[in-house]
Amino acid sequence: MNYDNILIETHGKVRLVKLNRPQALNALSPELTRELAHALDSFEQDTEVHVVVLTGNEKAFAAGADIKAMKDLTYMQAYKSDFITDTWERITKFRKPTIAAVSGYALGGGCELAMMCDFILAAESAKFGQPEINLGTIPGAGGSQRLTRFVGKSKAMEMVLTARMIDAQEAERCGLVSRVIANDKLIEEALATAQKIAALSMPIVLMAKEAVNHAYEVSLSEGIHFERRLFHSTFGTEDQKEGMNAFIEKRKPIFKNQ
Ligand code: DAK
């Protein structure tokens, strides 16, 4: 498939995916989300790919779903086609780590897409918001649910009800982003972070991601039980033996992803 709306760069085992509709502040059109889903499918199959970094440009990560593409939808069209659900949800099922590197606007579906990644690194210029209420609609890709889990009810409610945007510093304070990075260092730092993960044991990284994600779905005791079982299973891997032996022998581990 040829991609017209995303750009892909290869950095060793890391793929940098750039949303690329600058003329529309990277508004997430159905074509763009289809291309993104297709690229994720191919990365999932490719054992050479360990981590994906998703980014936009300096002005916008993404200013939301494409309003021009959806404004005339009828209820029946949206409901019967389950409007763009499958392509949007692809990233939530992606097993390998994903990092959102956000500069500029991450609004509506843009904020939701960033939240679907495993963590968010924000440039100082980043602005997050769920402004759908201004358009006469509400968040449709999980914003009301994921934002509330990230930042708590009060701030999520204020953002969803008033469309107020928060800047990178506020987003870091309330736990929406893991770190704020100087504007000109964002991609460098996101790639360095991704490379660090890519150098680890892939199956163990997948288990760690699965364990953290489980915390969102189940009770604490069930989550801890799940984590314990995964932890025990790491002792069945060659990479656990290599990691612990390398520590004792004061050398760098050589993981074989086995
Ligand atoms: N859609 C389409 N075009 C957009 C856009 C968007 N979301 N945001 C910006 N653009 C376009 C503008 O129309 C303009 O195009 P031209 O007029 O030049 O042709 C160009 O990008 C530059 O935008 P501005 O001229 O407005 O730039 P400013 O710097 O003045 O303002 C802004 C930047 C980000 C404050 C402003 O563009 C803005 O407010 N944009 C809209 C933000 C917004 O309301 N976002 C939420 C959209 S609703 C779902 C999945 C997802 C969703 C729903 C369901 N399912 C899985 C079911 C998501 C819904 C949404 O995101």
The span from the CA of 101 to the CA of 188, in Å, is 10
Residue 49, ligand 1, Cβ within 6 A:
no
Nearest 10 degrees: CA dihedral of 132, 61, 128, 49? 110
Q: What is the pLDDT of residues 170-183, one digit of tens each?
A: 999 999 999 999 99
Q: What is the pLDDT of residues 22-41, one digit of tens each?
A: 999 999 999 999 999 999 99
Q: How much is the pLDDT for 86?
A: 87
**Which one is catalytic: 64, 109, 129, 140?**
109
Q: What is the pLDDT of residues 193-214, one digit of tens each?
A: 999 999 999 999 999 999 999 9
Closest ligand 1 atom number to CA of residue 64: 61
Residue 56, ligand 1, Cβ within 6 A:
no
**pLDDT over 90 (residue 143):** yes
Residue 113 confidence class, pLDDT cut points 50, 70, 90: very high
Closest ligand 1 atom number to CA of residue 68: 2
**Which one is catalytic: 27, 101, 123, 132?**
132
Average pLDDT, the chain: 97
Average pLDDT over residues 246-252: 98
- Whole-prediction pTM value? 0.97
User: Is 4:29 a contact under the CB 8 Å cutoff?
Assistant: no
Residue 93, ligand 1, Cβ within 6 A:
no
Question: Which percentage of the chain shows pLDDT scores above 90?
Answer: 97
Three-state SS for 25-42 is CCCECHHHHHHHHHHHHH
132 part of the active site = yes
Q: How much is the pLDDT for 84?
A: 83
Residue 126 confidence class, pLDDT cut points 50, 70, 90: very high
Q: What is the pLDDT of residues 70-112, one digit of tens each?
A: 999 999 999 999 988 889 999 999 999 999 999 999 999 999 9
User: Is 20:27 a contact under the CB 8 Å cutoff?
Assistant: no
Question: Environment class of residue 77 by beta-carbon count within 10 Å: exposed (0-12), middle (13-18) or buried (19+)?
Answer: exposed
- For 80, the 3-state DSSP assignment is helix
Name which of 101, 136, 120, 235 is nearest 178 in CA terms. Answer: 120
Tally the residues of the chain: 258
